[in-house]
Amino acid sequence: MSEWMPIERWAECRPLERPGIIFEVSNGQHSLFTACVMPLQAPSDWTSPPTRFRVVAEPRPRHSSPIPAPKHR
């Protein structure tokens, strides 16, 4: 992970993009993991706008549980 950067520098996220890298955006109360998207949209339930971001490694995918077989009636 990298150091936190002020959200005013969000436009600089494009050169930081790499395979396996995403961005953690925070408003001090909540965090959001996202790609470099313009414009950055905070979730509707955030009561304050994003204030900072940092580069983080993309989490490895997790396998879901198998779908159960249908029940016969």
What is residue 45's DSSP assignment? T
The pLDDT tens digits of the residues spanning 12-65 come to 999 999 999 999 999 999 999 999 999 998 899 999 999 999 999 988 878 888
Helix (H, G, I), strand (E, B) or coil at 26: strand
| pLDDT attached to residue 60 | 82
| pLDDT attached to residue 1 | 67
Within a 10 A sphere around the Cβ of 53, how many other Cβ atoms? Answer: 25
Within a 10 A sphere around the Cβ of 50, how many other Cβ atoms? Answer: 21
Q: Answer with the residue of higher pLDDT: 68 or 22.
A: 22
Phi-psi category of 20—alpha, beta or left, where left has phi over 0 and alpha has psi -120 to 50?
Answer: left
Token representation of residue 9: 């520098």
Using 50, 70 and 90 to split pLDDT, how confident is the model at 5? Answer: very high
| pLDDT attached to residue 69 | 83
